[in-house]
A and B are shown apart, each in its own frame.
Chain A
């Protein structure tokens, strides 16, 4: 992939290549070697569809992993459907991709990556069940990301017994939050549900410190809360902050540790990031499905994948009737100024009625 998101493309490629190399070195799958080809989507549906069609017609691919960007993945779904090529996504988080898959329509699209909806649910599940935070104030960035994440969170409020005391959206450029924080302070909220960027998180954290909210109201959601730079802005406020991640190199499981070790050995000590991991894991998942099917025929592999139970690095991977992997996420909580892994959590997705 080229363009602004280019690094994610090459990291994914590294993860996938490592998996293919390992599998081929061990004799391949059912006697076949895995051969990877790549196309450049530039993170756009237009370029992505052109690349995918070229790969289908001239490279005769049977399976495709992609895209990183949700908008491109959405455009691939009808194409793989017509071409009868199996698409396994390993990096797009837009929930609608699998709303439209499985019983939702497209039969050839699977996703082995947690969605924004699962992320929103898992954060609220942990906040409610483990931390007993039930009264929350919403304070999110005023764009697709912030408003989208809150819309998804709302699907879980009833399930986890959460009441909302206030709801506000801010411009990414806003530097003054005190009036809002004062309002939240007098509302009796136990937590602020925030989806935003690191710069705003630092401002909110610092102004929470100013208004005497440190240790009284927790920050939950997503906004680089576990980033050392954010924590440094106001450690006493960030203590107790909650954030979820699809994977992280310091996650403690035998499979995860051995991947980190092999990846570092293969790429000169480079620490793998989440996309490298998910593409490595998904190639292995595909190989397992091919073995289970006993055939490389995409239709047979699709059947096998739908019923698979795969021992992944963060837990067992199974697909629901929308062909969405029911994946756990790693939950981070800031404790004594450091992000601490509190384990992996899952939540069930409620699909919209067609």
Chain B
């Protein structure tokens, strides 16, 4: 039972981490919170649903197509909106990304209708892991998350592009002086972050099953809580914060009450802001 709660929590935490890490890299490089982040998760779920339900593709084939579709979408939004947010005030960023959020939600409702679409795909048959039943899809989500986080750590620490990302996040003016193309770095980071949200959307759709325009809202809010807990811009911190949130939610749902589940993220957020305002791994603490 307890072991079950931990595995469930780890998988759900992995989903949170996978969505949130996109938000945290965008925040790190651009200095703006992407309040439309959950909408790319929604777009990913819808793109995969469309590929399976309307084009008749397999779930496997729908994953790369989803990444491609959301990649193109975020290229357009990156050009039109996000590139303009370099070095502008924080409130302008909030208004702009909230606007994008409304636009994407309502476009999805306009195209696909206001009712729930039902996602038909994925590998839901249970398999035995350490003597417990768990859906293959959940095992896959966990493994994909580990791979993605490993790759991201490598990208940011070792690759040239990662060095440019870190440079932009530290000092935009110096980057201009040194010839780093800031707009290009912002655009690529944005596409990377949003396609990770879309990947998370397509990976969890077989479990969340109901696809609708506003499904990303709750994800945006939880992601925000996760990146604050993880220390705004820290990749490893986001993974741990996602896992902590997932496990805490499972424990609260089982032992306190299912109706309190969605309050856990915000209760944790408040506690972190009170005692560790720079995240779990910060050396700065408030007593």
Contact between A207 and B118, CB atoms less than 8 A apart:
no
Chain B window 1-27, contacts with chain A (Cβ cutoff 8 Å), 1 for yes, 0 for no? 100110011001000000000000000
Answer yes or no: B96 CB below 8 A from chain A CBs.
no
Is there an interface contact between B258 and A210, defined as CB atoms closer than 8 Å?
Answer: no
Q: Given the complex, which residues of B lie within 8 Å of A340, measured CB to CB?
A: none
Q: Does A258 contact B (CB under 8 A)?
A: no
Of A182, A199, A202, A210, the residue contacting B254 (CB under 8 A) is: A182
A303 in contact (CB, < 8 A): no
Q: Flag if A211 contacts B133 (CB, 8 Å).
A: yes
Which of A92-100, A171-179, A288-296 interfaces with chain B?
A171-179
Is chain A's interface secondary structure helix, strand, loop, or mixed overall? helix
Distance between Cα atoms of A210 and B8 in the complex (Å): 11
Contacts of B108 in A (CB 8 A): none
Nearest CB of B to A188, in Å = 13
Contact B254 A183 (CB under 8 A): yes
**A232 proximal to B (CB < 8 A):** yes
C-beta contact mask, B133-153 vs A, less than 8 Å → 1, else 0? 111011000000000000000
Q: Give the complex CA separation of A174 and B258 in angstroms.
A: 9
Give per-residue flags for B236-275: 1 if the beta carbon is below 8 A from chain A beta carbons, else 0.
0000000000000111011001110110000000000000
Provide the bound-state CA to CA distance between A230 and B116, in Å.
Answer: 11
**Complex alpha-carbon distance, A202 and B210, angstroms:** 8
Cα-based distance from A251 to B118 in the complex (angstroms)? 29
Chain A residues whose CB sits within 8 angstroms of the CB of B12 once the complex forms:
176
Is A158 in contact with chain B by the CB < 8 A criterion?
A: no
Taken together as a complex, chains A and B put the C-alpha atoms of A186 and B176 apart, in Å, by 61
Q: How far is the CA of A176 from the CA of B254 in the complex (A)?
A: 11
Whether A270 is near chain B, meaning CB under 8 Å from some CB there, is no
Q: Which residue of A lies closest to B210 (CB)?
A: A199
| B118 and A180 form a contact (CB under 8 A) | no
Q: Is the CB of B8 within 8 A of A169?
A: no
> Counting CB contacts under 8 A, is A229 at the interface?
yes
B118 near A174 with CB under 8 A, answer no
Instruction: List B contacts of A175 (CB < 8 A).
Output: 207-208, 210
The answer to whether the Cβ of B124 comes within 8 Å of any Cβ in the partner chain is yes
Q: Which residues of B contact A232 (CB under 8 A)?
A: 118, 120
Interface residues of B in 18-49 (CB under 8 A from A): none
Inside 8 A of A199's CB, which chain B residues have their CB? Answer: 116, 210
Residues of B within 8 A of A160 (CB): none
- List chain A residues, Cβ under 8 A from B8: 176, 178-179, 182
| Complex Cα spacing A142 to B125, Å | 29
Are B207 and A202 closer than 8 Å at their CB atoms? no
Which chain B positions have C-beta within 8 A of A207?
Answer: 207
Cβ–Cβ < 8 Å partners of B125 in chain A:
209
**Known contacts A207-B207, A210-B135; is A179 also within 8 Å of B253 by CB?**
yes
Nearest CB of B to A140, in Å:
10
With known contacts A169-B258, A209-B124, A212-B126, A203–B208 Cβ distance under 8 A: yes
Q: How far is the CA of A195 from the CA of B118 in the complex (A)?
A: 20
Taken together as a complex, chains A and B put the C-alpha atoms of A178 and B262 apart, in Å, by 14
Most chain B beta-carbon contacts within 10 A, residue among A139, A177, A206, A207: A206
Contacts of A206 in B (CB 8 A): 124, 206-207, 209
List 7 A-B residue pairs with CB atoms under 8 Å apart, sorted by A's residue number. A175-B210, A179-B249, A180-B253, A180-B258, A206-B209, A210-B126, A211-B133
Instruction: Give A contacts to B, CB under 8 Å.
Output: 139, 142, 168-171, 173-180, 182-183, 186, 198-199, 202-203, 206-207, 209-212, 229, 232-234
For the complex of A and B, the 10 pairs showing the least CB-CB separation, nearest first, are A210-B135, A212-B133, A179-B254, A179-B253, A179-B250, A182-B4, A178-B8, A168-B258, A212-B126, A142-B259
What would 15 more interface pairs be, CB under 8 Å, given A175-B210, A209-B125, A211-B135? A169-B258, A170-B258, A171-B262, A174-B261, A174-B262, A175-B208, A178-B8, A179-B5, A179-B249, A179-B254, A182-B8, A210-B133, A210-B135, A210-B207, A211-B134
CB within 8 Å of A: which residues of B?
1, 4-5, 8-9, 12, 116, 118, 120, 124-126, 133-135, 137-138, 206-210, 218, 249-251, 253-254, 257-259, 261-262
